[in-house]
Amino acid sequence: MDTHDTFTVTLHYASGHRITYTYTATMRDIVAADDQKLFASTEDSEVILATCWPLNTNWKRLMVRGTLTCVAIQPVE
C-alpha cells in the first residue's frame, strides 16, 4: 500500500446494519517496534495499520496512517 491508496473497514452489526469507513493512506513508514508514532493521537479521524517488518520477524513495523474520507451506512435489507 502506498500513500494516496484507499482502504476500507466494514463493521457488521447483529441488527444487520453495516457501516463502511473509507480511509486514504497519508503516510507509509518503517519504524522501530516501540516507536511512539504507532500510538500517537491526533485531532483527525485516523487509523494506523501496522504489521511486523521484515516478514516473520518482530524487528520493526511497517505502518500506514489513513485519514477518514467517507462513511457509508447501509441499513438492514
Q: Is 1 a member of any domain? A: no
Cis peptide preceding 75, ω within 30 of 0: no
How high is the pLDDT of residue 21? 98
Residue 39 has phi, psi (to 5 degrees) of -120, 0
Separation CA 58–CA 44 (nearest Å):
29
18-63 confidence digits (pLDDT tens): 999 999 999 999 999 999 988 888 889 999 999 999 999 999 999 9
Q: Is 57 a member of any domain? A: yes
Domain that holds residue 28: 6-74
Q: Is 24 a member of any domain? A: yes
CATH code of the domain covering residue 17:
2.40.260.10
Q: Is 29 a member of any domain? A: yes
How high is the pLDDT of residue 63? 96
77 pLDDT more than 80: no
How high is the pLDDT of residue 52? 95
User: How many structural domains does the chain have?
Assistant: 1
Q: Is 54 a member of any domain? A: yes
3-12 confidence digits (pLDDT tens): 999 999 999 9
